Amino acid sequence: MLHQLGKIFSDFSLFFFLVIIVVAGQLSNPLFLSPATIYTIIRGTACLGFLALGEVLVIISRGIDLSVGQIACLSSVIVVYFMIMFQSPLIAIVLTLLMGLGFGVLSGTLVNIGIPPFLATLGTMWIAQGLAEYLGVKPTPVPSHFSSFNIISFETPPVTAIILILISVISLEILATKVPIGRYIYYVGGNEYGTYISGVDVKLIKYIIYSFSGFSASIGGILLTSWTTSGYKWVALGQEFTAIAASVIGGASLAGGEGRVFKTIIAMVLLITISSLYTFLGLPPTLFFLTEGFLILGAALFQIKFRRG
Amino acid sequence: MIVAQNISKSFFGVYALKNFSLELKDGQVCCLLGENGSGKSTFVKVLSGIFPDYKGEIYINGKLVRLSSPKVARDYGIAAVHQTLDLVPQASIMENIFLGSERKKHKIFIDRQEVKRITKELLSYFNLELDPEKPVAELTTWQKVIVAMAKAISKGCHTLLIDEATTPLSIVEKRLLLSLIRELKEKNYSILFVTHYPEEVFEIGDEVVVLRDGEKVMHAKVSETDLQMIVKAIAGKKADRKYYRQKVEVGKELLILKNVSINHIIKDINLEIREGEIVYIVGLPDSGKEQLARAIFGLIPIRSGEMYLNGYKYNPKNTNDAVKHGVGFVPGDREAEGIFPIRPILENSYISRINSLTTRNLYINLNKNITEFASMARIIKLVYKSPSEEVRFLSGGNKQKVVLMRSLLTKCKLIVCEQPTAGIDVGSKVEIYSIFNEFTENGGAVLAVTGEAGDATSIADRILIMKEGKIFKEFVGPTDPEQVIRNLIGLG
């Protein structure tokens, strides 16, 4: 009985929390749920969501990717850098995405050599950070003649942001639940050796997971640039932990084999809503960290309590 | 048809399988028997592509192949049925069955309806009414075995390697599994059936092969052999048997177990070990012998009953408590649980009382007890270059001595030992026996648990046979291993 209640609760707990936060926000200040706030939450979710999308897949496979935040930072710096160099946003975006993919391939290679994911991605994280700090000493605004690049920032309502994140979440959710390659991520996390002796190319799966994570993080970086209208080396500083937090609050287990893409995004919405609420109410940022800490510990305790089997 | 020729595989310099040859014919069941550590599982793993570094040749339908990965083995139609090894606990039955060979629709998506339908069919073929979407973690052992079988068959494999699948099953389930295998045989599957129980050979087998210490000691048609011959082959030649136990004065009671229960299977265990005794508990996998040993060392809690040590009530809260009470432990999986591979030998042997290595109770000084270490190493005939050598470079036998030394150096009274001689060479085995002799001469006692009858009959004062959580037979003094094996497999 308790078990079933727990399961139902765990499936809907995030919506439940989200509703509580929104209602509480609305009660404390009726101006909270304005279009402006909602658009901010959407934009934030779209940008940071792409960091979490890669992260959650890595975590399901029983790994961790610490590099997503710094890959996003580096992407922000070089997308503007290339835009100025080649005078073409398209070329800049393509090159930036390739860079993100390259970092992901590097992480995947290191992990497949046998370096623990924590260390491998700590290494790639610092390499990305080093390059970002070197190339982007000062924030560089997106050139005014390419102002259409800043679509995330100026578009109201933010249709592009919504479309991008929705399509990505839906297609990844389908991939992870209905397509063999997506299911393999769960199997690798649940029993890597068993998956291997079932005849699956486990290394290939890991390559794909980490490459995607790097690629997805660079999309996040580009979107953040479009939102903040400048290339900035600290635009996603520390956001790898937000991505990890969203994955875990969304039900992913660091022990592998569990987690859902769509729940991760809902958890991201939750985190960003709380953050906007605190900003809106003029509460100090420290309070947000406290809340985040309790949320992630609560989610972890919850997993231990109601883990099935 | 599969022909394996001169297959060898070694671990850390010790052969697990040596020049082993075997043929698997279509529509036949070949039974592979032997004691724990005789190389049965190693051969299964070679055939399923898990040990790609084997020596020797494997021909499939006359063609020389290299089984370099599980995928390659599967592509050649070979599938192993491990009990739970290759199942993903969080995934559903149908996902597990189709793991690695997903059915797709529109060439992209997993065809859930189709997969569910086939899984239902497979399960009902095996007389199992289960929801295909149920996670494997929620299944019973029998159901997991069936899922593993269904998985092998669904992949279109014609050669099934069934590795000790009957051991954890109940009698009824065993019957079911054997009749299933008969059906598969009639459908022209080729089956390698690995088991501990020779009587199963006569129910399903066409040929029987017995392994001993990695070498083939018997190969016969089932129709031309009998139980007696198989048991003899498993136990080994009479000439090779020796009783190494020296006469030791037995003292007062050291450990007493009164009605100890650990779970619903292992219950009401009564046991008494005296100073100077070597007692072996022999049982097949899943007999509960390891849990019993681990409970005595405080690794798992006991549910009810009482233990006494030296006449005082003994209920170890944890392993540290057990060591403080003078109990030592030698785990069965030496590589995973016994040694710290990249730490020095000396440090490895002092882990149970690392405080004795410290200067002013603070800094570890690896030179502090070097004399004590050297004299102990001399007594146990440890072969090593220097105390600071990393343990991973030692042979299996010397690693085992280091693990034993860890207990000896705590000056413990009782050593609880799992598989004391598993995976070590014959010379080291004899040396381990002399360590036991010497240890008990000084008033200590050894409680060993093992699956190898030959190990117990070489050194034990008393042999207890354990089965399904109960001790049901005791042998005192020199014992014929054949007798022990007969009791183990229920022919006693």
* Calpha distance B77→B136 (Å, rounded): 24
Cβ-based contacts of A187 with chain B (< 8 Å):
88, 91, 95, 99
Which one of B47, B88, B140 makes the best mutation probe of the A interface by having the most chain A beta carbons within 10 Å?
B88
Distances (CA, A) of A3 to A120, A302, B140: 38, 11, 20
Query: Which residue in B73, B89, B101 is closest to A191 by CB distance?
Result: B89
Domains of chain B listed by start with CATH number: 2-239 (3.40.50.300), 253-488 (3.40.50.300)
Distance from the Cα of A200 to chain B's closest Cα (Å) equals: 5
Cβ-based contacts of A174 with chain B (< 8 Å):
109
Nearest chain A residue (CA) to B139: A309
**Interface list for chain A against chain B, based on CB atoms closer than 8 Å:** 174, 178-180, 183, 186-187, 190-191, 193-201, 257-258, 308-309
Strand, coil or helix: B422: coil
Encode B230-291 in three state secondary structure: HHHHHHCCHHHCCCCCCCCCCCCEEEEEEEEECCCCCCCEEEEEECCCEEEEEECCCCCHHH
Task: List all residues 6 or more positions away from B176 whose beta carbon is below 8 Å from its beta carbon.
Answer: B127
Q: Does B102 touch chain A (CB under 8 A)?
A: yes
| Burial annotation B189-208 (CB, 10 A radius, 16+ → b, else e) | bbbbbbbbbbebbebbbbbb
What pLDDT, on the 0 to 100 scale, is given for residue A4? 63
Return averaged pLDDT per consecutive 10 residues of chain A, 309 residues in all.
61 83 89 91 96 97 97 97 95 97 98 96 97 94 93 92 96 92 92 85 95 98 96 95 94 91 94 91 87 89 68
Give, rounded to a whole angstrom, the gap between the first and last alpha carbons of chain A. 15
Domain A36-304 has CATH 3.10.450: no
Provide the pairing of β-strand B190-194 with B29-33. parallel
B81 neighbors A197 (Cβ within 8 angstroms) = no
Cβ-based contacts of A196 with chain B (< 8 Å):
70
* Calpha distance B375→B388 (Å, rounded): 16
* Calpha distance B147→B151 (Å, rounded): 6
What pLDDT, on the 0 to 100 scale, is given for residue A308? 46
Q: Does B367 touch chain A (CB under 8 A)?
A: no
Distance from the Cα of B207 to chain A's closest Cα (Å) equals: 27
Q: What is the pLDDT along chain B (492 residues), one digit of tens a residue?
A: 899 999 999 887 778 899 999 999 999 999 999 887 788 889 999 998 989 999 999 999 999 999 998 889 988 999 888 755 678 888 999 999 888 877 777 778 888 888 899 999 889 888 888 899 999 888 888 888 888 888 888 888 889 998 877 766 777 888 888 888 999 999 999 999 998 888 889 989 999 999 988 899 999 999 999 888 898 888 887 777 889 999 888 999 999 999 999 998 898 999 999 999 999 999 987 889 999 999 999 999 999 999 999 999 999 999 989 999 999 999 988 888 899 988 899 999 998 888 788 777 778 788 888 899 999 999 999 999 899 999 988 888 899 999 999 999 988 999 999 999 887 887 888 999 999 999 999 999 999 999 888 889 999 999 999 988 999 899 998 998 889 988 888 776
Strand, coil or helix: B476: strand
What pLDDT, on the 0 to 100 scale, is given for residue A244? 96
Cβ-based contacts of B82 with chain A (< 8 Å):
197
Which one of A173, A198, A203 makes the best mutation probe of the B interface by having the most chain B beta carbons within 10 Å?
A198
Cβ-based contacts of B80 with chain A (< 8 Å):
197
Cβ-based contacts of A201 with chain B (< 8 Å):
71
Query: Which residue in A190, A197, A200 is closest to B50 by CB distance?
Result: A197
By the 10 Å C-beta count (0-12 exposed, 13-18 middle, 19+ buried), A3 is classed as exposed
Cβ-based contacts of A308 with chain B (< 8 Å):
90, 135, 137-138
Q: pTM for this structure? A: 0.79
- The residue behind tokens 């390739």 is A98
Compute the C-alpha angle A281/A282/A283, nearest 5°: 95
The continuous run of DSSP H or E covering B219 comes out as strand B215-221
ipTM over 0.85 threshold: no
Distance from the Cα of A98 to chain B's closest Cα (Å) equals: 25
* Calpha distance A134→A128 (Å, rounded): 10
Distance from the Cα of B213 to chain A's closest Cα (Å) equals: 26
Distances (CA, A) of B419 to B157, B288, B398: 35, 14, 15
Is A201 within 8 Å of B71 when comparing Cβ atoms? yes
DSSP 8-state symbol, B126: T
- The residue behind tokens 């989200």 is A18
Distance from the Cα of A276 to chain B's closest Cα (Å) equals: 36
Cβ-based contacts of A183 with chain B (< 8 Å):
91, 95, 102, 110
